[in-house]
Amino acid sequence: MKQITRWRKQKPTTSEYGTSDRWFVLFFLSLNYFVLILHRNVIYFVQPPLKLELDLSDAQIGGLDTAFAVPYALSQLFVGHLGDRFDRRTILLLSLTGSVVSLAGLGLSGSYTMLVGLRFLLGMSQAASVPAIASIMGDCFTSRGRSTAVAVYLVSQQVANIASGSLSGEIADIPSWDIGMNKLGMHIVSVSGWRMAMFVFSLVGAMVVLGVYLFLREPARTDREAGRGLGLQGGTWWKTTKNVLCVRSFWFVGIVFVLIGITSGARETWLARHFYDTLGMDLGEAGLFSTVYFQSGAIVGLLFGGWWADRWASRRPSGRMAVQTIGLVLMGPAFIVLGTSSVQPVLAVAMTAIGVGYGFYVANLWTTTFEIVDPAARATSMAFLNVISLLGAPFAPLVGYGLDNELFDLGQVLTSMSLVVTLAFVLLIWTMVRLLPRDYRGSVK
């Protein structure tokens, strides 16, 4: 243990691409994010048995998404700044431990009130992680390869989505799991399938907490300049917040993020259910089909979009944002197909296109933001993106209300996402052409 501690405190060398151990650090950041996504998404893929056992409505299922999103976003008003001022490794350990405990509690829930309360706690627990992760990545990778690094990191999200969609569905398809407790002097314990899925994913998280504790180091701060902006040490909460919110481009980046978040929420919350209802699939099949093509496409979009953007960004300030707009062009028409077709090969192509487009967009979200905000405000800027995303929180319960009252069906909900993507495209073009030239802080060849 002492050898591991000594090794973790050794100072790495640096180059034009970042620290010498940047990919090792990225591996553990990716594991951390993998667990966060597993924990927040598992509930989407166990809806039928969860609804049946606890007698829930569609509006209540939609409310569980809001119960996570609201505290997750509001907590970032304060915890995001921690990543700009304090030890980020400690922040990640505390956040991930809270997520593990919250998910285990969800598996023990016996009422809708308990589900809401623990989803609320899960959101609060996870809130500090992503801003701290973004800050660490900004310090370990230079602008020469940041989009590529973010893309590799976000592959963990796609893998987690596939895992949560397929494994949780497979586990939940088994109505009851009998666990032998004879060695503890207890009788066999029967656990519902949806509860077992949460317990299994909570255990995975506990193992990752141990790995982060042993091997992740706290990197040195980079890119900060004495006498400019927030300086070397950063500013107070108020000064840092004001510095971020005074950037006009940041607001438009945030609004586009809200819109894309709405489309992601619709897909994550309702797509597996749509296939379960309309294509005659069981939970495992619907979960896998609704995730594997999108996530596979997203992995391609992330890796290629990150690599592409790093090269364009070295020549023109709008390089990263231009790649994002191309991604939105791919997503819009594909949502129309997703909501109207019942042909599985056609749906697979549409989900792949949405995945590639989403990968292009999200691979460059953080790095675009890093180029318009002070380096000492990176974690805070990520936090405020999530705060702004709260504007999309009412969408899921409103959809649930409409479904309960038969105002529309899930196919129409998915089709309408093409309009949301179109609006995001228009706003992103406006930002790139009119606002970015003034706010850009990066460098080009």
In this model, does residue 39 exceed pLDDT 70?
yes
**What's the pLDDT tens digit per position in 378-408?**
888 888 888 887 788 777 778 778 878 878 7
How many domains does the chain contain in total? 1
Residue 77 is assigned to a structural domain of this protein: yes
Give the position of tokens 């039928």.
48
**What's the pLDDT tens digit per position in 22-35?**
889 999 999 999 99
Region 313-335: mean pLDDT is 92
Residue 211 is assigned to a structural domain of this protein: yes
Closest C-alpha to 351, from 256, 417, 280, 277: 417
Residue 411 is assigned to a structural domain of this protein: yes
The per-residue pLDDT for 412 is 85
Instruction: Check residue 14 and report its DSSP letter.
Output: E
Position with higher pLDDT, 53 vs 126: 126
Looking at the chain, the whole-number percentage of residues with pLDDT higher than 90 is 30
| Rg of the chain (C-alpha set) | 22
- Domain of 108 in residue numbering reads as 18-220+237-439
pTM above the 0.85 mark? Answer: no
The per-residue pLDDT for 159 is 84
What's the CATH code of the domain at 166? 1.20.1250.20
The per-residue pLDDT for 226 is 54
132 near 124, Cβ under 8 Å? Answer: no
In this model, does residue 235 exceed pLDDT 80?
no
325 near 425, Cβ under 8 Å? Answer: yes
Residues 6 or more apart in contact with residue 156 via CB below 8 angstroms: 30, 31, 33, 34, 37
The per-residue pLDDT for 387 is 82
Rounded to whole angstroms, how far apart are CA atoms 94 and 335? 38
Residue 62 is assigned to a structural domain of this protein: yes
Q: Which two tokens stand for residue 348?
A: 């697979």
Residue 109 is assigned to a structural domain of this protein: yes
